[in-house]
């Protein structure tokens, strides 16, 4: 989940403002005034000056319009021109993160620094143990020459007074695949040959300098003004993010202007059935194990960092892919819109011709707020499909895929399973060791890039404990409805 802070609040305000302007048909007339209105001269600046603050707001708006900040050719190009391109359908290129350089420049440039706790001791273990001769003692205090320092951390470990502090770069620290580093200007750059779109850098950045490139305005414009027919494909995790029942959330999504709504849990039904059969076939054929394939960040990880895992990954499509097939079959003249908590779903959708748009939980919440939609006022129970299984909604939580498969497996199959909960440095080592696994270990591995699963995705809006409780209620709703139907029958 995105850590709740002022940068997140700013992003939410920007989304709401943009949607309201578009809803009122004043977006092109007023979009260039947003930075001035949000950062007036009368307020104390967040950064060095009000002009810097306004520049940050401008570039954050560009990202929400779907643009890569690095592609800017003329700093004087007004936001109105970018908005026109966004409404016409700015072409995405498959890379869905961008760095707001004006916001990023405030971050630390070095990792190790000497604090005033330095005692200038005679032993000088920091200086003696430095392998690069990067430490000198000046006026009785240690000083680090950052031109020589290689950030090995030996000096910090050697100091008996804990006088050397490590200053992390949050985005770099959070990235499990080392896909983000500073360039020569001190601005973070994302290496998309390494990036798995897990969103960890985005949630870790305290300046809100990393943003996903959004499709929200183009989608809402096409719904409102172009009268484009749309079908919303709602991920199970969405049902965990708002204080409302599943039927209220799904009905409220339709109230935004979607013509049809399908739960991605329907696609999860199909993923469960196919993946179970595939697992049994592979094991019968002598395979040592199989891993899940529904997490797009894990799929990108295997492609870019662990190709040795690819023969062991399930070929079964994800719930989104199956749901998109259903959507195009039932509503062939509708645009299919995936709504979920996952940044990496943008990359999966980019490769899937059946998915036309992706919007996130954050963006859905902004739509509800901007359009003043009261979730409690929308209670169409018929919108919940009878075919949805409780365990299919459970896909949103870690262990959910495994649980769904176990409900399908007959009791004669005693298959050992294991959960790899979150792609971090430790679990990456575990994943890369799997092809060398010994007999008798797990036969089925569920892999989730986000710890605790999709309910803890990078663009969610609810704390994990609340999400877990809400998802449990959403799963119980189906069981209760089935009991009621059975009783009535």
- The tens-digit pLDDT sequence of the chain (489 residues) is 555 788 889 999 999 999 999 999 999 999 999 999 999 998 888 888 999 999 999 999 999 999 999 888 899 999 999 999 999 887 778 899 999 988 887 677 678 999 999 999 999 999 999 999 999 999 999 999 988 999 899 999 999 999 999 988 999 999 999 999 988 888 899 999 999 999 999 999 988 999 999 999 999 999 998 899 999 999 999 999 999 999 999 999 999 999 999 999 999 999 999 999 999 999 999 999 999 999 999 999 999 999 999 999 999 999 999 999 999 999 999 999 999 999 999 999 999 999 999 999 999 999 999 999 999 999 888 898 889 999 999 999 999 999 999 999 876 788 999 999 999 999 999 999 999 876 568 999 999 999 999 999 999 999 999 999 999 999 998 866 554 554 455
Q: What is the pTM of this model?
A: 0.91
Rounded Cα distance between 119 and 265, Å, is 62
Picking from 221, 229, 256, the residue whose alpha carbon sits closest to that of residue 87 is 221
Structural domains of the chain ordered from first start: 26-105+177-214 (no CATH), 112-166 (3.30.70.20), 229-488 (no CATH)
DSSP lists the bridge partners of residue 336 as 231
């Amino acid at each position: 989940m995105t850590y709740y802070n002022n940068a997140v609040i700013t992003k939410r305000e920007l989304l709401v403002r943009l949607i309201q302007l578009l809803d009122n048909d004043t977006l092109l007339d007023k979009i260039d005034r947003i930075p001035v209105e949000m950062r007036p001269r009368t307020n104390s600046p967040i950064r060095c000056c009000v002009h810097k603050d306004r520049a940050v707001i401008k570039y954050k708006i560009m990202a929400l319009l779907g643009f890569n900040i690095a592609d800017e050719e003329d700093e004087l190009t007004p936001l109105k021109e970018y908005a026109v391109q966004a409404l016409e359908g700015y072409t995405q290129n498959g890379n869905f993160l961008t760095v707001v350089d004006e916001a990023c420049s405030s971050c630390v440039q070095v990792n190790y620094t000497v604090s005033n706790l330095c005692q200038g001791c005679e032993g000088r273990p920091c200086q003696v143990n430095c392998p690069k001769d990067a430490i000198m003692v000046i006026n009785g205090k240690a000083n680090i020459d950052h031109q020589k320092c290689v950030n090995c951390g030996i000096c910090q470990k050697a100091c008996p007074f804990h006088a050397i502090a490590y200053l992390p770069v949050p985005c770099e620290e959070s990235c499990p695949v080392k896909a983000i580093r500073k360039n020569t200007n001190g601005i973070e750059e994302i290496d998309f040959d390494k990036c798995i779109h897990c969103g960890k850098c985005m949630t870790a950045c305290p300046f809100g300098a990393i943003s996903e490139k959004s499709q929200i305005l183009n989608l809402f414009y096409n719904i409102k003004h172009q009268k484009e027919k749309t079908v919303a494909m709602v991920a199970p995790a969405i049902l965990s993010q708002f204080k409302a029942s599943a039927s209220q959330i799904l009905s409220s999504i339709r109230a935004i202007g979607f013509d049809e709504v399908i739960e991605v849990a329907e696609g999860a039904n199909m993923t469960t059935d196919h993946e179970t059969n595939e697992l049994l076939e592979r094991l019968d054929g002598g395979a040592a194990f199989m891993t899940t394939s529904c997490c797009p960040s894990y799929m990108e990880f295997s492609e870019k960092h662990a190709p040795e895992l690819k023969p062991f990954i399930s070929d079964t499509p994800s719930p989104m892919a199956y749901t998109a097939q259903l959507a195009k079959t039932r509503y062939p003249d509708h645009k299919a819109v995936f709504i979920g908590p996952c940044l990496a779903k943008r990359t999966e959708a980019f490769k899937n011709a059946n998915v036309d748009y992706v919007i996130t939980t954050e963006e859905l919440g902004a739509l509800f707020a901007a359009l003043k939609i009261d979730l409690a006022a929308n209670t169409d129970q018929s919108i919940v499909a009878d075919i949805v299984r409780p365990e299919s909604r459970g896909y949103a939580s870690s262990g959910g895929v495994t649980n769904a498969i176990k409900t399908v497996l007959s009791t004669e199959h005693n298959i050992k399973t294991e959960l790899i909960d979150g792609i971090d440095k430790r679990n990456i080592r575990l994943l890369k060791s799997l092809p060398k696994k010994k007999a008798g270990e797990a036969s089925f591995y569920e892999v989730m890039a986000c710890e605790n699963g999709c309910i803890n995705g990078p663009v969610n809006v609810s704390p994990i404990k609340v999400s877990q409780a809400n998802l449990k209620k959403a799963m119980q709703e189906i069981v209760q409805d089935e009991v009621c139907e059975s009783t009535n029958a």
